[in-house]
Structure 1
Amino acid sequence: MYKNTIAITANTSWYLYNFRKNTILALLEQGYSVIAIAPFDVYSQKLTDLGATYLPVKIDSGGTNPVSDIATFYAFYKLYKHHKPCVTLNFTPKNNIYSTLAAKCAGVKTLNNIAGLGTLFINESIASKIARVLYKYSQSKADFIFFQNEDDRALFKQHKIAHNVMSDRLPGSGADLSRFTVTAAPDDGVTRFLLIARMLFDKGIGQYLEAARVLKKQYGDTVEFRLLGFLDVDNPSAVSKAQMNAWVAEGVVNYLGTSDNVEAEIAQVDCMVLPSYYREGVPKSLLEAGAMGKPIVTTDNVGCRETVDDGFNGFICEPRSTESLTDALNKIIIMPHSERLKFGVNSRHKIETEFDEKIVINKYLVAVKQLLNEA
């Protein structure tokens, strides 16, 4: 067991680089060796460039094949037995399950992050029921669990999941306040909205599209609705390429693809939107938009509502309601540009005081040291 080696795992290298880059750098600065474990993609080399040791693992993120999942468990086990980290930090659902079980078998301490539960505790499919059993069993083997919102923490308590495991709440993944700085949208008579997420109907993409249809009909080219994020993903709720192409051809929305420079896209818009009814952690896109001084429109939904003080830095609408979303977006449209900027200042203040990424990273460092002192 190498007391200064920390493993950090997720279901994509893209996730580790884009969402946990500063956590990796902070661990390295503290003198730890960091092993980054995730499936290989174009971001794997970027993890090595940060100073981490990258190790590949195969994870079928959206799949339900038990043979594939057993192989994932065994792959984690072999990595932990060979590289002997003292603690593993797990992100994303299958990592929380299979990395935790493998680490327990290999004698490695685990620190898990529950960043939203998706449809896991809503869907009554056989796959969801099996996943709940696996979650319940695996999380009882963890040494520390971070929750991104109190709703998820309460849900774990209600289902008697890991009730004897140490836990704490994090303000989501936090926002990097030095990277995401206040940038005013152009005052050119056009109100621009942006939705950043994986393109899933559960994220409220359908309601956003319908609201856009209504408001484009009313305001024409003085309003614009943009979408940014992975399309045609491995998820039953995924928006297909054909569907997106049809919407774009209709002239209702602009699809921007994906970007490593999301701050450039956020900078151009007047308001960030996420009408999700997915069980979120705390959506990163809302935190980053808030840090850049943008008003936010989101739903009264787990993880989302934490980012908005209604009528102060944005508006909260009803989940699954096109009418409620349309009304909230219309409030932004009819608002004077100066008032939108004022809402944006309020957003920045809220992110600075409640969601600074440094708060999150410091909590990880404290928890790691706590687990090492117990080792």
Structure 2
Amino acid sequence: MYNLFIVVNVDWFFLSHRKDIALTTQKSGYNVTIVTKDTGKKKDIEALGLKVIDLPMNRSGQNLLEELHTCWFLYHLYRRENPDIVHHVGLKTILWGTLAAKLANVHGIVNAVSGLGIFFSEGNRSVISKLLPKVLRFSHYRNNVAVIFQNDEDKSLFLKYQIIKESQAYKIKGSGVDLNQYNYTPEPEEGKIKVLLTARMIVEKGIFILIDSAIKLREQYQGKVQFLLCGGLDDNPMAIKESELQAVCDGKYIKWLGYRTDVLDLLKGCHIVAFPSYYKEG
């Protein structure tokens, strides 16, 4: 039986983006272990029959010593457990996980770039951002590393910095959704027109772009349209403070819903979905 490690920066992201892959590979005969930061969802993952190892990682941190600790942890984990395949999801787990896997001689590595996040953002002058291309180039310089992209821009950037060869790159159309769950639903015929944004409350997700647009339309559409912001606060350096949201959201025309688990119901109840993000998405 092959041992597969799926390494994700945080537990809730695994549940929303990689759960089905883990369960499918498990049914195919793989011994699947999830390595992720436990923020309270560990028991939910274990309830699926999956082994979970807590990952010491600050997904938005840029402290070099803290980051090297994450790499050191993964290196010793891979040496001790000797997985056959490691699947890193997200740029930070790719950065340190692929380096650790190379040093630990892990046989197969599949990396999924789900956006380039803050580390390739304009204006980021952190030490990690400067080291990023060099570390990635070193760790990917081997034959048994495959990298999955969801857009041409991210793929081109990896090729531009000579992090990978063309033969290592694979582009897919997206992570996908379960169409049995997210099936076609007619839009509501009654009530206000609802515009929904679902995202973490980060400036680069375009939160204020939508809010500014709503304010410009207020005089003409208040009472007819409602703008809904769905998403929790974040520890990203560009995160929006709760006080900033409360200052611009009146709870009626512009409403911040906070973190929600009923996104499917919210989608069914809205007419327009807005994604004004200029964050380096996947």
TM-score, structure 1 length as denominator?
0.71
Equivalent residue number for residue 215 of structure 1 = 217
Matches of 2:72 and 2:55, distance apart in 1: 10
Runs of at least 4 residues of structure 1 off by over 4 A? none
Equivalent residue number for residue 96 of structure 2 = 98
Gapped regions of structure 2 (runs ≥ 5) = none
Report whether the alignment pairs 1:11 with 2:13. Answer: no
Matches of 1:235 and 1:132, distance apart in 2: 21
Report whether the alignment pairs 1:267 with 2:265. Answer: no
Alignment of 1:164-179 (within 5 A): 166-179=168-181
Distance 1:110 1:165, change over 3 A: farther
Percent of pairs with identical residues: 29
The alpha-carbon deviation at position 27 of structure 1 amounts to: 0.5
**SS, match of residue 245 in structure 1:** helix
The alpha-carbon deviation at position 63 of structure 1 amounts to: 1.2
The alpha-carbon deviation at position 198 of structure 1 amounts to: 0.9
Equivalent residue number for residue 278 of structure 1 = 279
Count, aligned residues = 278
Matches of 1:79 and 1:121, distance apart in 2: 28
The alpha-carbon deviation at position 41 of structure 1 amounts to: 1.8
Any conservation in 2 of the 1:143–1:165 contact (CA below 8 Å)? no
Equivalent residue number for residue 38 of structure 2 = 40
**SS, match of residue 222 in structure 2:** helix
Any conservation in 2 of the 1:185–1:269 contact (CA below 8 Å)? yes
Distance 1:139 1:198, change over 3 A: farther
User: 1:159-185: CA deviations, max 9, x gaps?
Assistant: 222126622111111111111111223
Matches of 2:252 and 2:133, distance apart in 1: 42
Equivalent residue number for residue 207 of structure 2 = 205
**SS, match of residue 249 in structure 1:** coil
Matches of 2:148 and 2:8, distance apart in 1: 15
Query: Which amino acid is the alignment partner of residue 89 of structure 2?
Result: F
User: 1:69-105: CA deviations, max 9, x gaps?
Assistant: 1110111112112222100111112100111111112
Equivalent residue number for residue 131 of structure 2 = 130
Any conservation in 2 of the 1:96–1:139 contact (CA below 8 Å)? no
Equivalent residue number for residue 229 of structure 1 = 231
Report whether the alignment pairs 1:186 with 2:191. Answer: no
Alignment of 1:332-371 (within 5 A): none
Distance 1:270 1:250, change over 3 A: closer
Q: Considering only aligned residues, what root-mean-square deviation do their CA atoms show, in Å?
A: 1.7
Query: Which amino acid is the alignment partner of residue 140 of structure 2?
Result: Q
Matches of 2:123 and 2:133, distance apart in 1: 10
Equivalent residue number for residue 358 of structure 1 = none
Query: Which amino acid is the alignment partner of residue 255 of structure 2?
Result: N
Any conservation in 2 of the 1:120–1:132 contact (CA below 8 Å)? no
Any conservation in 2 of the 1:115–1:280 contact (CA below 8 Å)? yes
Query: Which amino acid is the alignment partner of residue 190 of structure 2?
Result: D
The alpha-carbon deviation at position 250 of structure 1 amounts to: 7.3
Query: Which amino acid is the alignment partner of residue 135 of structure 2?
Result: L
Alignment of 1:149-164 (within 5 A): 149-163=151-165
Equivalent residue number for residue 245 of structure 1 = 246
Higher share in helix: 1
User: 1:51-84: CA deviations, max 9, x gaps?
Assistant: 2110111001111111111110111112112222
Any conservation in 1 of the 2:118–2:124 contact (CA below 8 Å)? no
Matches of 1:125 and 1:244, distance apart in 2: 24
Any conservation in 2 of the 1:209–1:252 contact (CA below 8 Å)? no
